[in-house]
C-alpha cells in the first residue's frame, strides 16, 4: 500500500512535466511564428504608408482640379449653360492674346515721341518675348493636354498650342499688369482697372474650358515672377543707342 503513493506522485510529476514542456514549446513556436516587426522596437508601417498617402493626396487634388475645371467651363460651346455670352468671353480672351500685345508694342515703339516712351515699349517687347519663350519651355516639359470639353475656334486653333500647362494668357496678364502699374502709375483707379482686366482674362480661360484651374493659378504666379526678372534686366535707351556704335567699332578693330 505504501508503494502506490509514490507511483501516483511520480505519474503526476511526469504529467505536469510533460505539460510544462508542451507549454514552453507552444510559446516558443508562437514567438517564432510571430511577425518580425513585433519583436523590434521600430515599426516600419509608417514608412510603408508614406508613398501611398502621397499618391492618394495627389490624386485627390487632381480630382478636385478636374471637377472644378469642368464646373467652370460654362462657355465651352454654344450649348453650354452660358453659351449665349461666349462671344463676349472670347473678346475678353482676345484682349490677353499675344498677337495684339506684340502689334501694339511695336506700334508704340515706332511712334514714341520721347526716349522714355521708347524705352518702356522696348522693355515691354522684351518682357513679352521672355514670357513667350518661358511658357513654351514649361509646356514642352510638362506636356499636359487641354481639357476634353475645350472647343477650338479658328483663331485659337491657329495660334494656340496643344499643351495646357501653364496658361499663357494668365502669365501674360499677370506680367503686363505689374508692368503697367509700375510704369503708368499705381493709382487706385488704375489698379482697379488693370487688376480687374487680368482677373477677367484669367477667368475667361476657365469659362471657355481652355485650361484647368491649376494651369491658370500657376500661370498667374509665373507671370508675377517674370516681371521681377524683367525689372532686373531692364534695358535703358542709352545702351540701345550705344550698341550700333560698339558693334561698328569691333568690326573696325578686326579690319
Give the torsion sign (CA, 177, 222, 160, 206): negative
Q: Rounding to the nearest 10 degrees, give the CA dihedral for residues 222, 228, 230, 234.
A: 180
Question: CB–CB of 209/76 below 8 Å?
Answer: yes
Catalytic: which of 86, 122, 211, 227? 211
Residue 90 near residue 203, CB atoms below 8 Å: no
Burial (Cβ within 10 Å: 0-12, 13-18, ≥19) of residue 173: buried
The single residue of 86, 139, 146, 169 carrying the catalytic annotation is 169
User: Is 97 among the residues known to form the active site?
Assistant: no
In the DSSP assignment, the letter for residue 83 is G
Q: Map residue 145 onto helix, strand or coil.
A: strand
**Any idea which residues carry the catalytic annotation?**
169, 211
Amino acid at each position: 500500500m505504501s508503494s502506490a503513493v509514490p507511483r501516483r506522485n511520480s505519474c503526476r510529476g511526469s504529467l505536469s512535466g510533460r505539460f510544462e514542456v508542451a507549454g514552453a514549446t507552444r510559446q516558443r513556436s508562437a514567438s517564432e511564428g510571430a511577425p518580425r516587426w513585433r519583436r523590434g522596437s521600430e515599426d516600419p508601417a509608417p514608412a510603408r504608408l508614406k508613398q501611398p498617402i502621397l499618391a492618394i493626396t495627389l490624386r485627390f487634388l487632381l480630382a478636385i482640379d478636374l471637377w472644378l475645371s469642368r464646373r467652370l467651363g460654362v462657355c465651352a460651346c454654344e450649348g453650354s449653360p452660358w453659351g449665349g455670352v461666349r462671344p463676349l468671353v472670347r473678346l475678353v480672351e482676345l484682349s490677353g492674346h499675344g498677337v495684339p500685345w506684340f502689334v501694339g508694342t511695336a506700334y508704340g515703339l515706332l511712334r514714341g515721341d520721347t526716349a522714355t516712351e521708347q524705352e518702356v515699349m522696348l522693355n515691354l517687347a522684351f518682357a513679352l518675348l521672355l514670357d513667350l519663350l518661358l511658357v513654351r519651355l514649361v509646356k514642352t516639359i510638362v506636356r499636359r493636354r487641354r481639357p476634353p470639353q475645350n472647343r477650338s475656334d479658328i483663331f485659337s486653333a491657329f495660334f494656340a498650342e496643344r499643351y495646357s500647362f501653364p496658361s499663357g494668357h494668365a502669365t501674360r496678364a499677370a506680367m503686363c499688369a505689374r508692368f503697367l502699374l509700375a510704369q503708368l502709375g499705381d493709382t487706385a483707379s488704375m489698379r482697379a482697372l488693370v487688376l480687374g482686366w487680368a482677373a477677367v482674362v484669367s477667368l475667361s480661360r476657365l469659362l471657355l474650358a481652355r485650361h484647368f484651374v491649376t494651369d491658370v493659378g500657376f500661370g498667374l504666379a509665373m507671370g508675377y515672377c517674370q516681371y521681377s526678372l524683367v525689372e532686373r534686366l531692364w534695358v535703358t535707351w542709352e545702351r540701345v543707342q550705344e550698341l550700333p556704335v560698339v558693334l561698328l567699332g569691333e568690326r573696325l578693330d578686326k579690319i
